[in-house]
Amino acid sequence: MASVNWRYSNWLPIIAVALYVTVPVLCSIYYAVFPGGRFSLAAYSVITDDASLAAAATRTLLIAGLTIVTLVATLVPAVLAVHLWAPRLRPVLEILCTLPLVVPPIALAAGVVALLRWGAQQGRGSLASEISQFIQHPDLPLILVGTYVVLCLPFTFRSIDAGLRTIPLKAMVEGSSSLGSSVWGTVWRVVIPNIRGPVLFSVFFATAVCLGEFAIAATLNRETIPVWLFTVSNTNFRASIAIAVLLNLSTWILLLVATLSAGRFSALGKAKRKAAALDEATTLEKEAH
Amino acid sequence: MSVPVTPTPGSAPGAPPGAAAPGGGAPGVSPGARPRLVSRARWEGVTTALRSPAVIALAPLTLIIAVFFLVPIFGMFTIAFAVQTDDGGTGIGLDNFLDLSSHSRAMRNSVLVSVVGSLIAAIAGAITAFCIAQIKSERLDSVVAVFSSVLANDGGAPLAFSFIVTLGNTGIIFGLLGLEAIGFTLYSWQGLVAMYQYFLIPTMIMVTLPTFVGLRKEWIEANISLGGSRLTFWWRVGIPIATPALLGGWILLFGSAFATYASAAVLIGSGGFPLIPLSIDSLLGSGLGAGGQSTAMALGVTMVVIAVVVLFFFNRLQRRSARWLQ
């Protein structure tokens, strides 16, 4: 009896942590859809009623799309290059990509503000001030795209780097080029499909970062969804809770899919599943005999 | 990579693509001619190198990192260390860091919240990870690994909103548990500590679970066959092996709590309860007072330094614990 109790007591801290994690979300959902104890989706009418939310959502999704494209289009070739042609530069690239980890977003925001102000001070019409204006454009703040790519780098670099290390990259590229394919044709048709997992991880992780980032967008006064939440919470608190729940759940789902896809499509996972399938097949065969 | 290759006279200059490194132009010296600063061969070597796939592939990312990361950080450091000299010029000095004494309250708050929050989360997370490892279910381990990594990355504005609804002054759980009676209020260091647990505990579980799972069965068996008890196992084997991971996890949590901005900004706003990240924001927002901006940059540099120290020790401790866990 005592040993049974001991075994179940292992679950207590796990259940406590699980409760701690779920209760705030459940409370938010309750607050959002049970105003005054009766079920109502009135709080979500802000989606159709408030044009500023639609604008913020469009802006955020546009930033997310551009961030994903830029991230994948620049990171994958760079990691490929250090694996294929310049192995001595790999540590340099690794350090460069990991460095953003030591700079808290608010500190990066401070640096970006300093840079943009310096650009603006160069006088009207000067190239620096034009560029500063252009990348801060309220509808499409490219400065956020660039900084979000940087924020994603530490995690996505590691994922893609590990993905390329598990496949026989050199043999693939040599084989493909001896069959007459160009370098970029090889990359597109052979290499990318083999690192689908890490690339998908990068896509979902970057989306989650773009949907959740607050420090830089708020400091630069660009209204993305999280900043909109903060602004609107002063006037319509229930609506901001309602949207925060949606945002939180979608971030969870994105990160979940990111983590799963990193494991699921990885060469290692594939090999493991294949081995398991083989095991099963052989035991079945044995049983049949 | 960039071993200088001296081309034999008469041969075509320029290395084959793939052998050419960025900036590794071959110094071409044609016989008889005086070497010029930029000889034709060197120029062609450089252009060949620039056309090599390695350079083409690395250039865009390097450009992005430079423009959106290195230059802003460099600018931040420059402003933070720039001081007005007596003759009106600018020099390098620590004056901006001396201004930080006026932010000692924010510094104290930040350290207090981070130390208390990370300590509680480290203990709670380690106990939870230990229990998860004790259950010895591979499926549970992988589910926990996925969920803890998801939650460790959580913690933006929505988190603060959900805590306001849950534990705020009119919060659902706040009323249910009668937290008012014990003097708890969300809009203080207690609230910040409680809110930070939401992503700190999963981070701790994520960092320490592999260690607890990795404590090998053979070690427990060896301990028993040598006549040791459960207690001797933990005292002599388990705890010494787990200590670096636990310590590293705690340091990482401290850094993570110290750098948290979004949820604290939504919960506390400006004023009320100053923290270093909030002070940076309000100094930047205060506009054109040049003094304010350089103090903000000095605070930013301080945060970077703290993060560097944290990650340095975390890495060292992780490596030490990894030695035992393959």
| pLDDT (0 to 100) of residue B291 | 66
Residue numbers in chain A where pLDDT is lower than 50? 1-2, 267-268
Mean pLDDT rounded to a whole number for chain B: 80
Q: What is the ipTM of this complex?
A: 0.84
SS3 for A255?
Answer: helix
- The 8 Å CB, 24+ separation contacts for B270-276 are B272/B187, B273/B109, B273/B187, B273/B188, B273/B189, B273/B192, B274/B103, B274/B105, B274/B106, B274/B109, B275/B106, B275/B109, B275/B110, B275/B113, B275/B192, B276/B103, B276/B106, B276/B107, B276/B110, B276/B302, B276/B303
- Same domain flag for A32 and A129: no
Q: Which CATH superfamily is domain B99-322 in?
A: MetI-like (1.10.3720.10)
Residue A45 counted as domain residue: no
Determine the residue type at B154: D
| Position B30 confidence tier, pLDDT thresholds 50, 70, 90 | very low
A108 in the same domain as A16 = no
Residues A23 and A128 occupy one common structural domain: no
Q: Are residues A30 and A105 in the same domain?
A: no
A279 sits in the region (left: phi over 0; alpha: psi -120 to 50; else beta) called: alpha
**Is A272 part of a structural domain of the chain?**
no
| Judgement on whether residues A2 and A89 belong to the same structural domain of the protein | no
Taking only the tens place, the pLDDT of each residue in A125-175 is 788 888 888 888 888 899 999 999 999 999 999 999 998 988 888 888 888
d(CA A44, CA B170): 21
A281 lies in a domain? Answer: no
Task: Find the mean pLDDT for residues B309-325.
Answer: 85
The Cα–Cα gap between B240 and B243 comes to 5
User: Locate tokens 């048709």: which residue?
Assistant: A189
Q: Is residue A282 part of a domain?
A: no
- Chain B residue closest in CA terms to A75: B61
Predicted confidence at residue A114, as pLDDT, reads 87
Same-domain check for residues A94 and A13: no
- A191 belongs to a structural domain: yes
Query: Position of tokens 């670096």?
Result: B244
| Least reliable range by pLDDT among A145-154, B28-37, B42-51, B252-261 | B28-37
Task: Give the per-residue pLDDT at A42.
Answer: 81
A148 and A26 fall within a common domain: no
Closest CA to A67 of A178, A170, A175, A151: A151
Asked if pLDDT for residue B125 goes beyond 90, the answer is yes
Per-residue model confidence (pLDDT) at position A38: 81
Is B241 in CB contact (< 8 Å) with chain A?
A: no
Q: Do A34 and A67 have their domain in common?
A: no
pLDDT in tens, B59-69: 999 999 999 99
Query: And the tokens for B4?
Result: 């200088």
Of A21, A27, A114, the CB nearest to B72: A114
* Residue range(s) defining the domain that contains residue A18: 1-40
Each domain of chain B, given as residue ranges in start order, spans 1-51, 60-93, 99-322
Partners of A118 on chain B (C-beta within 8 Å) are 75
pLDDT band of residue B237 (cuts 50, 70, 90) is confident
CB contact under 8 A, B154 and A255: yes
- What three-state secondary structure class fits B83? strand
Asked if A188 and A217 sit in the same domain, the reply is: yes
Residues from chain B contacting residue A101 (CB–CB below 8 Å): 307, 311
Q: Got the DSSP string for A48-89?
A: HH-HHHHHHHHHHHHHHHHHHHHHHHHHHHHHHHHHHT-GGG
- The CA-to-CA distance between both ends of chain A, in Å, stands at 45
Contact by Cβ (8 Å): A186, A177? yes
Chain B partners within 8 Å of A147 (Cβ) = 68-69
Chain B residues whose beta carbon lies within 8 Å of the beta carbon of residue A104? 258-259, 261, 277, 303-304, 307
Residue A12 belongs to a domain? yes
Q: What is the DSSP letter of B15?
A: P
CA distance B224 to chain A (A): 19
Round the CA-based radius of gyration of chain B to a whole number and report it.
28
List Cβ neighbours of B152 (8 Å cut-off, separation of 6 or more).
B199, B202, B203, B206
**pLDDT, mean of residues B90-113:** 83
Q: Do residue A34 and residue A177 come from a single domain?
A: no
- Judge whether A258 lies within some domain: yes
| HSE value, Cβ hemisphere, 13 Å, CA-based, for B1 | 19
Contact check, Cβ <8 Å, B198/A24 = yes
Q: How far apart are CA B129 and CA B110, in angstroms?
A: 27
The residue of chain A with its CA nearest to that of B67 is A146
> Would residue A159 count as lying in a domain?
yes
CA B199, B201, B203, B205 torsion-angle sign: negative
Nearest to B153 among A96, A101, A208 (CB): A208
This prediction has a pTM of 0.82
Are residues A64 and A184 located together in one domain of the fold? yes
Q: Which residues pair with B90 in a beta bridge?
A: B84
B54, B135, B277 ranked by CB distance to A106: nearest: B277
Residues A25, A74 share a domain: no
Reported as a pLDDT band with limits 50, 70 and 90, residue B95 is confident
- B205 contacts in chain A (CB < 8 Å): 17
CATH number at residue A212: 1.10.3720.10
pLDDT score of B3? 38
Cα–Cα distance between A125 and A267 in angstroms, integer? 53
Q: Do B172 and A30 touch (CB under 8 A)?
A: yes
Contact B276, B302 (CB under 8 A): yes
**Residue B272 DSSP code:** S
pLDDT tens, position by position, B156-207: 889 999 999 999 888 888 888 877 778 788 888 999 999 999 999 999 999 8
Q: Which residue has the higher pLDDT, B321 or A58?
A: A58
Residue with tokens 């040599």: A174
Number of separate domains in chain A: 2
Over residues B1-18, the pLDDT tens digits come to 333 433 333 334 333 444
Total residues belonging to chain B: 326
Tell me how far apart the alpha carbons of residues B36 and B162 are, in angstroms, rounded to a whole number. 69
Q: How many Å apart are CA A268 and CA A271, to the nearest integer?
A: 5
Note the pLDDT of residue A234.
85
